[in-house]
A and B are shown apart, each in its own frame.
Chain A
Amino acid sequence: MNTGPIDEPIRLKTTVHQQGDEVPEIDVAQIRLDNDLDAEPEPLLPPQRTSLFFRLVTLSIITWLMLQWFQGTVWSWAISPWLGGGIALIGVGVMMGLVVLAWRARAASRKLDLISRMQQRIRRAQRAHNQPSSLVPELAAEIDALYQRSPLNASLREQLAAVDASWSVAELAQGLNSWYGPLDQEAAQLIRRESVRTGIFIAASPYPALDLLLVAWRNIAMVERVAYIYGLRLSAPARWHLYQLILRNIAFTTVTETMLDSVSQTWLSNILLQVGVRAGQGIGVALYSLRIGHQSMRLCRVVPESDPLIDRNIGKLVIDSVRSRSSGG
């Protein structure tokens, strides 16, 4: 039955290039950095946890308002029970209104935007089966609707024209990914350029107070331009998420070395040791901008990325150029 030689296993060879002292020493800090650069992508819109501070402020405002209302009610009751009753009623009405509003806001914050939801569906379908499925035309129609008012509408139509029920979701995703190819490239280049530029600015900036504004301005512009490349407007949840990331990036420019360490970026503190605080901050901001750019790309694409859009090589390039230009200049 078995025609081949039974005993001869398939041999997988290891190639040894060099052995002994000429081989460079390995560097744990560098391994950490590498791992960080090719970590798995984070969830698109991670669930938000409200901070304790925010809760405390809300709570005290609510308490204050309640007290005011209570006082007002007691005071006006003394004048006339009608007036007091009225104010009490108004208060109850306002409170109920607020509860309803809060409820709605909560529901909305849990919702994903259209694109993340579509990505989720595609990913699930890809994992589940590779057969042609009725889901495909449905998805294609939805994608088309999403791009209704986009300048890229015509070219996308062309891409989707061939899609019918004989396609599998994986094929659809593959087709779209290749359509996204040039856009991805353009966006990645833009993001790389922007990240390096912002990083160098920070590393060289004489006025730390300005950094904050600078980072905010450059990052917001970057995010908007990425969305423009993909021919879309960012949805409210996506924008909210990206702006939060930008806020965190701004925080980078103001914190000190010891604080950076506790921001969980231990590899960053290693860079700091090597290149000095200022240049280190530049690199930190550049890498974080890269990440923001990456997130905005992912938030603009209907299909999940098949290969990382921003890979570790780009990360390395960014680090190197910020490092060399900030120490040279």
Chain B
Amino acid sequence: MSDSFLARSVPVTRIGITGLSQAGKSTLITSLINHLENLRRGSLSAQTDLDLLVHGHWLRGGEHSFDYDAGLHALTNQPVRWPTSTTDWSIARIEINVDRPWYSLKPRKRVIELFDYPGEWLLDLMLLEWDYRQFCEALWAWVGQEPRHTVGASLIAELAAIDPLTSVDTAQLAVLQERWADFLAECRIAPYQLSRNLPGRFLLSGRDFDPAEYPFVPLFGLGVVGNDAAHDFPKGSWGAVCQANFDHYRNDQARPFFDQHFRALDAQVILIDLLGAMSAGPAALKDMRAALEGVLEPFRYQSGHWLGQLFRRRIRRVAVCATKIDHLLPDDQHRLQSLLESYLYETVQRLAAASIELKVMAIAAVQSAQRVEAGGTGSLIGRDKRNGEKIHFTPPTLPSTMPHNLNLKIDELPQLAPPAGLDRAQVFPSRRIDQLLAFLLAE
């Protein structure tokens, strides 16, 4: 009772922080809370849109609450490190006092909710619309291309060799499923860094789901069978079992997750690790773009469609952000933003047409490099996160436009560790987090 009363009197703004895995979601949320906690200090106080917000305060506790403590612990304790990768969804709640004029009837408090989840799960948005056959076809197309084709050669051949109509060997299915998960895991990391890794929950299952209970794999032998046979696999066959378990995965795991959490969003932040993908090369860039386009597709559906409703019912603002730009010099940070614009041109155009307030920007949640100048040229110093050594480097100069075929690769860009000396009571040094907040929270 009191809960619903509260919900009515204090307006809640729920913001989805969306991004493929390792895009920088959890770090951004940690930084956003830190900025809101220190609202009247630093650059936020200069944002005229946020004039009225005086004090933010993180609400500890509650179910599935975001672990800000853990984030702070990682970033402010010696030795500093990045927050660990997310394993389940959570919500960060921040209460903000609003300084209204005395005659105003509007509420004097606001609650901001930031929704975090493992990036692997986002990709499941793509398979919500597929039946099992379409799932297999899509994956078949993906594994036909490099580098997946070589990485998973033997597994793919084995899956293709299975006749979906023969009766299933559960032991083999379990093994194959595990190998599929391993294959996804390998594609995901360097040097490949591919994005379209389905099903996402095979990589990270979350608290209430055990993939081994409902095993399935894509069966590439389906193409041989012909179209309508897909609907009547003999009982107990490979095809029937995989199809049933796929349906379960789609209907009882993936779909409720998005239904529950995306329905209530007021704004979306879409984080894109463009620098990371550029470091991995053209294949990763292409895969990431395809993944993002697939994931953002629902914005395009008409209002009758449930996915369209999910995305468009409330969402008014979308910020598309390239993350981790602290690895670049200021001029290139600007260029990265225009690269992002041309990289996602179609998607951005589509969103812009959908009567949504849209902003494309380049941000860094925690600035980890310091600029030094010698002889008129800038360079950066920081600490490499992989070996912990201090490093002095000049990042590459970016082109001002993205080549249409995405044939671009950044060499040897280090990945930085967070700077030592961060402090909860002061704003973390960052790039454009203030502008992002001003955009998201403007009334």
Q: Report the minimal beta-carbon distance from B199 to chain A, rounded to whole angstroms.
A: 30
Q: Which of B40, B383, B391, B435 contacts A264 (CB 8 A)?
A: B40
**B419/A14 in contact, CB under 8 A:** no
| Residues on the B chain within 8 Å of A206, using CB | none
Q: Which of B51, B390, B411, B421 contacts A20 (CB 8 A)?
A: B390
B78 CB-CB contact with A under 8 Å: no
Q: Which of A8, A18, A39 contacts B391 (CB 8 A)?
A: A18
Q: Report the minimal beta-carbon distance from A328 to chain B, rounded to whole angstroms.
A: 24
The total of chain B residues at the interface (CB under 8 A) is 55
Q: Report the minimal beta-carbon distance from A166 to chain B, rounded to whole angstroms.
A: 26
Q: Which of A8, A17, A32, A47 contacts B42 (CB 8 A)?
A: A32
| Bound CA–CA A261/B427 (angstroms) | 12
Q: Which of B369, B392, B407, B419 contacts A16 (CB 8 A)?
A: B392
B373-409 Cβ-contact flags toward A at 8 Å (1 or 0): 0000001011110000111111111110001000111
30 pairs from A and B in contact (CB 8 Å cutoff): A8-B407, A10-B408, A11-B411, A12-B278, A12-B397, A12-B409, A12-B410, A14-B396, A14-B411, A14-B412, A14-B413, A15-B394, A16-B391, A16-B392, A19-B384, A19-B389, A20-B389, A23-B391, A24-B372, A24-B390, A28-B429, A31-B429, A32-B427, A35-B43, A35-B429, A35-B430, A40-B435, A43-B48, A52-B102, A266-B42
**B392/A12 in contact, CB under 8 A:** no
**A9/B409 in contact, CB under 8 A:** yes
A34 CB-CB contact with B under 8 Å: yes
A38-57 Cβ-contact flags toward B at 8 Å (1 or 0): 11101100110100100000
Q: Which residues 96-113 of A sit at the B interface, judged by CB distance below 8 A?
A: none
A262 CB-CB contact with B under 8 Å: yes
| Residues on the A chain within 8 Å of B102, using CB | 52
B367 CB-CB contact with A under 8 Å: yes
**B408/A9 in contact, CB under 8 A:** yes
B281, B392, B394 interface centre (most CB from chain A within 10 Å): B392
| Bound CA–CA A262/B38 (angstroms) | 10
Q: Report the minimal beta-carbon distance from B124 to chain A, rounded to whole angstroms.
A: 30
Q: Which of B379, B398, B435 contacts A12 (CB 8 A)?
A: B398
Q: Which of A9, A13, A27, A42 contacts B396 (CB 8 A)?
A: A13
Q: Whose C-beta in chain A lies nearest to the C-beta of B384?
A: A19
Q: Report the minimal beta-carbon distance from B252 to chain A, rounded to whole angstroms.
A: 42
| Residues on the B chain within 8 Å of A27, using CB | 370, 421
A26 CB-CB contact with B under 8 Å: yes
B167 CB-CB contact with A under 8 Å: no
B414 CB-CB contact with A under 8 Å: yes
| Residues on the A chain within 8 Å of B391, using CB | 16, 18-19, 23
Q: Report the minimal beta-carbon distance from B30 to chain A, rounded to whole angstroms.
A: 15
| Residues on the A chain within 8 Å of B43, using CB | 35-36, 39
Q: Whose C-beta in chain A lies nearest to the C-beta of B395?
A: A14
| Residues on the B chain within 8 Å of A29, using CB | 421
B residues within 8 Å of A by Cβ?
Answer: 40-43, 45-46, 48, 51, 102, 278, 281-282, 330, 367-372, 379, 381-384, 389-399, 403, 407-414, 419-423, 426-427, 429-431, 435
Q: Whose C-beta in chain A lies nearest to the C-beta of B394?
A: A15
**B408/A38 in contact, CB under 8 A:** no
A30 CB-CB contact with B under 8 Å: yes
| Bound CA–CA A23/B367 (angstroms) | 18
Known: A31-B419, A264-B45. 13 other contacts (CB 8 A): A9-B407, A11-B409, A12-B398, A12-B409, A19-B389, A26-B420, A28-B429, A32-B42, A35-B43, A35-B429, A35-B430, A262-B41, A266-B427
| Residues on the B chain within 8 Å of A42, using CB | 46
**A264/B42 in contact, CB under 8 A:** yes
Q: Report the minimal beta-carbon distance from A210 to chain B, rounded to whole angstroms.
A: 30
Q: Whose C-beta in chain B lies nearest to the C-beta of A33?
A: B429
Q: Whose C-beta in chain A lies nearest to the C-beta of B390?
A: A23
A158 CB-CB contact with B under 8 Å: no
**B427/A26 in contact, CB under 8 A:** no
| Residues on the A chain within 8 Å of B45, using CB | 264
**A12/B370 in contact, CB under 8 A:** no
Q: Whose C-beta in chain A lies nearest to the C-beta of B48?
A: A46
Q: Which of B282, B384, B412, B422 contacts A28 (CB 8 A)?
A: B422
Q: Whose C-beta in chain B lies nearest to the C-beta of A15?
A: B394
Q: Whose C-beta in chain A lies nearest to the C-beta of B393?
A: A16
| Residues on the B chain within 8 Å of A15, using CB | 379, 393-394
**A26/B382 in contact, CB under 8 A:** yes
| Residues on the A chain within 8 Å of B330, using CB | 38
| Bound CA–CA A52/B99 (angstroms) | 11
**B370/A31 in contact, CB under 8 A:** yes
| Bound CA–CA A19/B46 (angstroms) | 37
| Residues on the B chain within 8 Å of A34, using CB | 370-371
| Residues on the B chain within 8 Å of A18, using CB | 391-392
| Residues on the A chain within 8 Å of B399, using CB | 10, 12
| Residues on the A chain within 8 Å of B48, using CB | 43, 46-47
Q: Whose C-beta in chain B lies nearest to the C-beta of A265?
A: B41
Q: Whose C-beta in chain B lies nearest to the C-beta of A24?
A: B381
Q: Whose C-beta in chain B lies nearest to the C-beta of A262?
A: B40
| Bound CA–CA A38/B431 (angstroms) | 11
